[in-house]
């Protein structure tokens, strides 16, 4: 029960922060395509997961509660694959084929790179 509560709390907080960050980014850029907020939260969330994974890999203590609260809960609520998927479908439906390719492939590559970079940063910091 404690594990479920940690994931619930982290997920709720992550979702709220995602909403605020995406709203802020989209308002600042004032673009007709509201993709940048989702891209930002997904890349920042990937970097955060990488940093936490890197820190946990070098730690002698596993911190299972922290993993549930922050990685599974917060990062799971903060990042958003479903919105990313819906935005890609919208791009296709509106014939934005170049944007679809750039956004889809760019998000995937930048997300993986951000996780890798996060792990690398934490390994270097030892």
Q: Which two tokens stand for residue 47?
A: 């970097």
Cite the beta strand spans of the chain per DSSP E: none
Q: Which residue has the higher pLDDT, 59 or 8?
A: 8
Count CA within 13 A, CB hemisphere, residue 39: 20
What pLDDT, on the 0 to 100 scale, is given for residue 106? Answer: 97
Supply the pTM of this predicted model.
Answer: 0.88
Q: 13: domain range? A: 2-124
Identify the band that residue 126 occupies on the pLDDT scale cut at 50, 70 and 90.
Answer: low
The helix (H) or strand (E) run that includes residue 63 is none
Question: Whole-number mean pLDDT of the chain?
Answer: 93
pLDDT given at position 61: 84
Instruction: Between 125 and 50, name the one with better pLDDT.
Output: 50
Per cent of the chain over pLDDT 90 is 84
CB distance 76 to 11 below 8 Å:
yes
Number of domains in the chain: 1
Instruction: Please give the pLDDT value at position 60.
Output: 83
- 56-78 mean pLDDT: 91
> For position 30, what pLDDT does the model report?
86
9-59 per-position pLDDT tens digit: 999 999 999 999 999 999 999 877 789 999 999 999 999 999 999 998 888
């Amino acid at each position: 029960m404690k594990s479920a509560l940690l994931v619930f709390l982290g997920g709720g907080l992550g979702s709220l922060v995602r909403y605020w960050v995406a709203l802020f980014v989209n308002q600042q850029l004032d673009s007709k395509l509201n993709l940048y907020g989702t891209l930002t939260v997904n890349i920042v969330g990937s970097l955060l997961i990488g940093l936490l994974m890197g820190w946990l890999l070098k730690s002698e203590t596993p911190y299972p509660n922290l993993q549930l609260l922050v990685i599974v809960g917060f990062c799971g609520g903060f990042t958003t694959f479903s919105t990313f998927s819906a935005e890609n479908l919208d791009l296709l439906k509106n014939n934005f084929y170049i944007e679809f390719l750039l956004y889809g492939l760019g998000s995937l590559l930048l997300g993986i790179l951000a996780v890798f970079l996060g792990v690398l940063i934490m390994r270097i910091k030892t």
